[in-house]
Structure 1
Amino acid sequence: MQTSFLEIVELPDGRIVLRRAEDEEVLVTLDFSDEARLFLQGQHVEIAKVMLTAGVQMAGRVFDDEFEHEHDSRVLH
C-alpha cells in the first residue's frame, strides 16, 4: 500500500469512513446504531476518530514487525 494522507469523514448517510485524502475509495467503515449514537450523546464522531486512529497505529506496528523479521539474518545448517 502506498503512503498517503488519510482522512476520517462522516458521510451524509451517517457512516464514518477512513479513506485516502486524494481518493474517494473507502478503506474502513464505522456505522453506529441509533442506540449507540444515543448512548454516546453525540460524541460518536470523536469515538470513531479514536477507534480508527488506534487501528491505523496497530496496522503500522504489524507492518513494522513484519518488515523487521523479513530482514532478520538466518543461519542455515
Structure 2
Amino acid sequence: MPTSFLEIIELPDGRIALRRAEDEETLVTLEFSGEAKSFLQGYHVEVAKAMLNVGVQMAGRLAEGDFERDEDGPRVLH
C-alpha cells in the first residue's frame, strides 16, 4: 500500500472506517453490535481507533519484513 495519510472516520450508519485522506474508498470497516456499544458505554469509537492503530502498525511491520509467522502449525485466531 502506498504511503499516504490515513484517517479514521465514523460513517453515517455508525460504522467506523479507515481510509486514505485523499480518497472516499474505505480500506477497513469496523461495526460494533448494539450489545458491544452498550458494554463499552459509548467508548466504541476509542476502541475502534486503538484496533485500527494496532492494525496499521502490524501492516507496517509486515511490509518491512519485521514479522515471522510459524507456517508449520494451524493458525489460531483469538
Under a length normalisation based on structure 1, what TM-score does the superposition of the two structures give? 0.83
After the TM superposition, list the runs of 4 or more consecutive aligned residues in structure 1 that deviate by more than 3 angstroms.
none
**How many aligned residue pairs are there?**
66
1:44 aligned residue: 44
Bigger Rg over Cα: 1
2:11 aligned residue: 11
Aligned amino acid, residue 47 of structure 1: V
Structure 2 stretches of 5 or more lacking a match?
A: 67-78
1:65 aligned residue: 65
Aligned amino acid, residue 16 of structure 2: I
- Bigger helix fraction: 1
Under a length normalisation based on structure 2, what TM-score does the superposition of the two structures give? 0.82
Structure 1 stretches of 5 or more lacking a match?
A: 67-77
